[in-house]
Chain A
Amino acid sequence: MGERSITTINRRRAVGLITAGLAAPFVSRWAGAQPAWPEQTAVPDILKGSGEVRIATWGGALQQAEQKAYFEPFEKLTGIKVRALPGADQAKVKAMVETGNVEWDIVQLSNGSIMNLMKSGDYFERIDYSLIDDGVGKEYRSEYGLEMLVWASVMAYRTDAFNGAAPASWADFWDVGKFPGSRALYGIGSEHPELEFALMAAGVPADKLYPLDVDKALASYEKIRKSVTKWWTTGAQPPQMLTDREVVMTTVWNGRMAALQEQGVPATICWNQGVARRDGWGVPKGAKNKANAMKFVAYSTMAIPQARFALSIPYGPVNEGSFKYIPPERMALLPSAPEIKKQLIQYDYDWWIANQDMAVAKFNKWLLA
């Protein structure tokens, strides 16, 4: 099976509020500069229905994009009302299913979270693949979750920091002599410390990363420790630190960077050796509107809704058919676009599911040493 699982992007409850707040100014700016969007005018009858579907999202910019790309047209075309509820969280799914009080019909999670939960019990419904568009690649389909966006964890740097020189690999990120200045890396609270980057910096080839050698990664981390000003905990921090010139280089979630560039901050992404990750839809076990949920999952992964989403926020579509609706300059920002996809490493969800506890424990211990 090509399913790759990984734990959730670590969008933490309390810090999430700050994240949303910090992101707010970027979002409104982006919304003003939309290219012409494709419109879907009809859906198969099998997707039509009545009643409602309650969707747990991550709120903020992502939910706004989903609103325009998925929720509004879905309501219009199918007659099913969408209620978007920010605060998606695997822990809440666990609690809801355990207490029998399932308030969500769909939840946005990484497939890793879904796999992780399924390890310890029966928390999700099977996805109804009879409804799913053929354009959705095999690698995005798994039994209890359907992935619907591709994002990437990449390097970003200030273009004005190195006299025109551009870092092109993790070896460059680690090279404080050639690229002087403070760094930031994903730190404590992380359920997936950026061990891949540390290993590539230590010379491990991209195709030989997994299974990760955690001790070797930590030894590599040790080399750069003194130059790391901040071990960040929320996605809003890296762009903020680049803007404030607090650091010259950092790891970042790609979606956060587009807005920064819109603002004219001299900073850019280095896609090379980034890690591609994915988010999906899961339907919690016992969801009251299960049928509507399946219809929504199917609709949102069709070519046009996927393209609309990628035009709204720079996360890549999972439907092959979407790319023909997306102009080339936009393609340069999407982690699933062929030109970028080939520079990225695909995150090994299986390895992480199996080794996460050990890797995180070792990382925490090292960070505190």
Chain B
Amino acid sequence: MSDSSMTPSMRILGGRREWSRWRRDIPWLTPLLLAAPLLLYMAVFYAIPVVSMLLRSLNDPKWSLDHYAALPSDVVFLKVLWITLSTSFIVTLATLMLAYPVALALSRARSTAPLILIVVLLPFWTSVLVRTYAWMVLLGRHGMINEALMALGIIEQPLRLLNTTLATEIAMVHILLPYMILPIANALRQIDPSLALASSGLGATPWGTFRQVTFPLSMPGVAAGMLLVFVLALGFYITPAMVGGSRDITLSMLIAQEVDQLHWGYAATLSTLLLAVALGLVAIAQLLPGVGNTFRTSK
């Protein structure tokens, strides 16, 4: 009886000693264990699906590189890839232009910051359906913008705004703005306020201070925001379908079509390519000077 009751406690004691030794000898053990739940989650819900997708691009219907070999000669794919990339690029630049001043205001505001934040986050809290509807109501042939312009006598005939590439871009920018504003505002807020004072005291005009101090120091946020927005823009699907023009066909739409046609191997190939483009961009961004720190903790 006493033997059996002693054994477990001794085991625990020994286990504890061993545990501290492991912790001492393997410095990454504790962080690894802390991250374990997330790692497990990612393995089950991300890594496994991604790997199975990769496999499908290679082994559906048989093991070969045929799907990849077909890509360069698939005109539809090349065209759609180009449309997707160029749309994402334009949207990213436009988002940056609009987001930076807002981020600047957000980072400098004190009492009004929560209000600005709510306005910035509004797109997050609005369903895709409502947002899309709103754009239709605004941009339609008989929508608010056209009606207003006609009422003011600025135009005679309604402008074609809805169902154009411009409409896609406007709607995408609207949805993606928070992803650009928040990282930039965060980067701006982390800049030591005395740097701007120092710059001014050393003779830099307000514009000079922005150009030489504030903007360069916000680069990690700008890079993170651009990366985030670009990568998200690559995957857009509903917005171009609903408000876009006849040539606003994104890679995601093409993938969905291939899935529906049961061309799963080719769909997986296209998806892998989309993933590769996104990962490639992250890698390139890491190499840019001043941006490499984006995903690194500062000392």
Which residue in B76, B129, B238, B241 is a CB contact (below 8 Å) of A368? B76
Do B140 and A244 touch (CB < 8 A)?
yes
**Do A18 and B129 form a contact, CB below 8 Å, given A246-B162, A246-B163?**
yes
Do B241 and A234 touch (CB < 8 A)?
yes
Residues of B within 8 A of A12 (CB): 256, 260
- Identify which of A225-233, A268-276, A279-287, A332-340 touches chain B: A225-233
Residues of A within 8 A of B143 (CB): 244
Count of chain A residues with a beta carbon within 8 Å of a chain B beta carbon: 43
Does B85 sit within 8 A of A, measured CB to CB? no
Query: A246 vs B164: C-alpha distance in the bound complex, in angstroms?
Result: 12
Does A161 sit within 8 A of B, measured CB to CB? no
Do B261 and A357 touch (CB < 8 A)?
yes
Which residue in B76, B141, B160 is a CB contact (below 8 Å) of A244? B141
Main secondary structure of the interface of B (DSSP, over half): helix
Do B136 and A244 touch (CB < 8 A)?
yes
Closest partner residue, chain A, to B75 (CB atom): A365
Cβ of A25 to closest chain B Cβ, rounded Å = 12
Closest partner residue, chain B, to A8 (CB atom): B260
Interface string of B68-90 (1 = CB under 8 A from A): 00000001100110010000000
Do A187 and B246 touch (CB < 8 A)?
yes
Do A246 and B128 touch (CB < 8 A)?
no
Please report which residues of chain B, range 209-254, place their CB below 8 angstroms from some CB of chain A when the two chains form the complex. 237-238, 241-242, 246-247, 249, 253-254
Does A90 sit within 8 A of B, measured CB to CB? yes
Query: A17 vs B247: C-alpha distance in the bound complex, in angstroms?
Result: 23
Query: A249 vs B263: C-alpha distance in the bound complex, in angstroms?
Result: 33
Closest partner residue, chain A, to B253 (CB atom): A189
Closest partner residue, chain A, to B130 (CB atom): A21
Count of chain B residues with a beta carbon within 8 Å of a chain A beta carbon: 34
Cβ of B226 to closest chain A Cβ, rounded Å = 25
Do A368 and B262 touch (CB < 8 A)?
no
Do B132 and A230 touch (CB < 8 A)?
no
Interface string of A1-39 (1 = CB under 8 A from B): 000000110101111011001100000000000000000
Does A206 sit within 8 A of B, measured CB to CB? no
**Do A17 and B129 form a contact, CB below 8 Å, given A191-B257, A365-B76?**
yes
Interface string of A203-247 (1 = CB under 8 A from B): 000000000000000000000010011110110010010001110
Do A18 and B257 touch (CB < 8 A)?
no
Does B174 sit within 8 A of A, measured CB to CB? no
Does A360 sit within 8 A of B, measured CB to CB? yes
Residues of A within 8 A of B264 (CB): 91, 94
Do A18 and B76 touch (CB < 8 A)?
no
Which residue in B129, B238, B246, B260 is a CB contact (below 8 Å) of A10? B260
Query: A356 vs B163: C-alpha distance in the bound complex, in angstroms?
Result: 27
- Chain A residues at the B interface, C-beta cutoff of 8 Å: 7-8, 10, 12-15, 17-18, 21-22, 90-91, 94, 116-117, 120, 182, 187-191, 225, 228-231, 233-234, 237, 240, 244-246, 356-357, 360-361, 364-365, 367-368
User: Can you list 15 pairs linking A and B with CB atoms under 8 Å apart?
Assistant: A7-B260, A10-B260, A12-B256, A15-B238, A18-B132, A21-B129, A22-B129, A91-B260, A188-B249, A189-B241, A233-B253, A364-B254, A364-B257, A368-B83, A368-B249
